[in-house]
Amino acid sequence: MKEIKVLGTGCANCKNTVRLIEEVARGKGVEIHLDKVEELQQIMAFNVMATPGVVLDGKVVHAGGVPSRSKVESWF
Amino acid sequence: MQFFFYDTPKVLLLLTGVVFVMGMVNSYFTPERARALLAGRTEGVANAMAAGLGIVTPFCSCSAVPLFIGFVQAGVPLGVTFSFLISAPMVNEVALALLFGMFGWKIASLYLALGLAIAIVSGWVIGRLKMEACLEDWVRNMPRVQASADDTVLTLGDRIASGFASVREIVGRVWPYILAGIAIGAAIHGWVPENFMASFMGKSAWWSVPLAVLIGVPMYSNAAGVIPVVQALLAKGAALGTVLAFMMSVIALSLPELVILRKVLKWRFIATFVAVVAAGILIVGYLFNAVL
């Protein structure tokens, strides 16, 4: 099961990112555990400079803006 | 009414073009690259670079805090970070495109130049004030980071795609605001008596500029929504400097942004930030009124 964290303080882009990831994962039948990290101090622990950020199995795979669908699909 | 139908498509078309070009320009710049370019550089020059980078680096306002912290960690001087943070929302391509489309290139370039000036000088002043002590403690305790630019290489095709994506995203999000703004502008045109604005926003009232800036602070709008209102105010006799000051204040000083910044800055710092930027905007407003 993939561990995914979406880093963001809760603006529309962050919500859209969560929705996109869940949608793609469901479409591919991949089981994921998705965590929303909204606490600033926790977000900064990943050293991202732009939100929304996406962490896949402990590694930062995206930061800044909503990721493109093809990018999200490449993670699964 | 005729203004509404004639101007709306023209403005939207211009906006689309500008956003597309900026989308492509943005693909050359990332926060990481900006940071690498600015880390450890001497202030003054760095402030100017930061303000310039603020315009071309894509930046969503909810990223303000992560970006701020990232800059601090890599050793970018505080004042320089602020030059970036001030110019980014204020001197934005949507504002410039709309100003250009509705008022001509002279006003648009003046806004650009003055916006940059305020960003550079405010950032520099904040740097002089040595506000490091007013950062929230947890921020100061964050580990230092090496600033390195990422090496992702994008093809021209990627960049063009990012231009289109920008248009979809920005114009798609902003056009209702533009329509609403133009509608409000048209309403002011039609219903507010001529020269009503002149009485308190006209040149002769010395307090009109500070008042405009003050009114702008609690209001927040993105550039798109406020410009048509600006147009109508001008048509009703408000002085250009006062109106531009109002516009800059609405965009650059926003309560929601300050609330977010509160997480990393102590109150004294926030107050200083608002005071310095407001002062800059005030000066610009007065200058404009005096010169034009």
Q: Is the pLDDT of residue B1 over 60?
A: no
Cβ <8 Å between B62 and A68: no
Asked if residue B229 lies in contact with residue B188, where contact means CB atoms within 8 angstroms, the answer is: yes
End-to-end alpha carbon distance in chain B: 29
Q: Chain A partners of B67 at a C-beta cutoff of 8 Å?
A: 49-50
Q: Would you state the pLDDT for residue B18?
A: 87
Beta strands in A1-76 (DSSP E): 2-7, 32-37, 53-56, 59-63
Q: Count of CB atoms within 10 A of residue B204's CB?
A: 10
> What's the pLDDT tens digit per position in B170-182?
888 788 877 777 7
C-alpha B144/C-alpha B136 separation (Å) is 16
| In-domain check, residue A42 | yes
- Among B59, B60, B262, most A C-beta atoms within 10 A, so best to mutate, is B60
Q: Chain A partners of B63 at a C-beta cutoff of 8 Å?
A: 49-51, 64
B36-40: which pairs have CB atoms within 8 A and are 24 or more residues apart? B36/B74, B36/B147, B36/B148, B36/B149, B37/B149, B38/B71, B38/B76, B38/B80, B38/B81, B38/B84, B38/B147, B39/B74, B39/B75, B39/B76, B39/B147, B40/B75, B40/B76
B23–chain A nearest CA distance, Å: 13
Cβ <8 Å between A50 and B66: yes
Q: Does B138 touch chain A (CB under 8 A)?
A: yes
Q: Is the pLDDT of residue B4 over 70?
A: no
DSSP state of B40: T
Domain of A53, CATH number, reads 3.40.30.10
Asked if residue B64 lies in contact with residue B82, where contact means CB atoms within 8 angstroms, the answer is: no
Instruction: Give the range among B75-89, B184-198, B252-266 with minimum mean pLDDT.
Output: B184-198
Q: Does A54 touch chain B (CB under 8 A)?
A: no
DSSP-H helix ranges across chain B: 2-26, 31-38, 45-56, 64-73, 78-90, 93-103, 105-128, 137-140, 156-166, 172-191, 196-201, 208-216, 223-235, 240-252, 255-261, 267-291
Asked if residue B15 lies in contact with residue B101, where contact means CB atoms within 8 angstroms, the answer is: yes
Domain total of chain A: 1
Complex-level ipTM beyond the 0.95 threshold: no
- The distance of Cα A64 from the centroid of its chain, to the nearest Å, equals 10
Residue B135's DSSP bridge partners are: B265
Per DSSP, the three-state class of B273 is: helix
Q: Would you state the pLDDT for residue A5?
A: 92
Confidence of residue B67 (pLDDT cuts 50, 70, 90): confident
Confidence of residue B199 (pLDDT cuts 50, 70, 90): low
CB-based contacts of B111: which residues, under 8 Å, 6+ apart? B91, B95, B96, B99, B244
Q: Does A68 touch chain B (CB under 8 A)?
A: yes
The residue that leads in pLDDT, A5 or B236, is A5
Q: Does A4 touch chain B (CB under 8 A)?
A: no
Q: Would you state the pLDDT for residue B120?
A: 92
Q: Does A11 touch chain B (CB under 8 A)?
A: yes
| In-domain check, residue A30 | yes
Q: Which two tokens stand for residue A60?
A: 């930062």
Q: Would you state the pLDDT for residue B174?
A: 80
CB-based contacts of B89: which residues, under 8 Å, 6+ apart? B61, B251, B252, B257
10-residue averages of pLDDT along chain A (76 residues): 86 85 89 88 83 88 83 87
> What's the pLDDT tens digit per position in B74-93?
888 889 989 998 888 888 88
Q: Does B281 touch chain A (CB under 8 A)?
A: no
Residue A3's DSSP bridge partners are: A33
Cβ <8 Å between A49 and B65: no
Q: Does A41 touch chain B (CB under 8 A)?
A: yes
Mean pLDDT of B194-220: 73
Q: Would you state the pLDDT for residue B116?
A: 92
| In-domain check, residue A75 | no
Residue type, B235: A
Q: Is the pLDDT of residue B5 over 80?
A: no
| In-domain check, residue A21 | yes
Cβ <8 Å between A48 and B70: yes
C-alpha B9/C-alpha B4 separation (Å) is 9
> What are the extents of the domains in chain B?
2-291
Q: Is the pLDDT of residue B206 over 80?
A: no
Cβ <8 Å between B70 and A8: no
Q: Is the pLDDT of residue B7 over 80?
A: no
Nearest to B31 among A8, A11, A64 (CB): A64
Q: What is the mean pLDDT of chain B?
A: 82
Q: Chain A partners of B263 at a C-beta cutoff of 8 Å?
A: 40
The answer to whether the bond into A52 is cis (omega within 30° of 0) is yes
* pLDDT over 90, % of chain B: 5
Q: Chain A partners of B165 at a C-beta cutoff of 8 Å?
A: 68
End-to-end alpha carbon distance in chain A: 11
Q: Which domain range does residue A55 map to?
A: 2-68
C-alpha B191/C-alpha B43 separation (Å) is 50
Q: Does B264 touch chain A (CB under 8 A)?
A: yes
* pLDDT over 70, % of chain B: 91
Asked if residue B54 lies in contact with residue B87, where contact means CB atoms within 8 angstroms, the answer is: yes
Closest residue in A to B141 (Cα–Cα): A41
> What's the pLDDT tens digit per position in B105-161?
888 888 899 899 999 999 999 888 888 888 888 888 888 877 776 666 778 888 888
Instruction: Please name the helix (run of DSSP H) or strand (run of DSSP E) that holds residue A42, with its range, or none.
Output: helix A40-44
| In-domain check, residue A74 | no
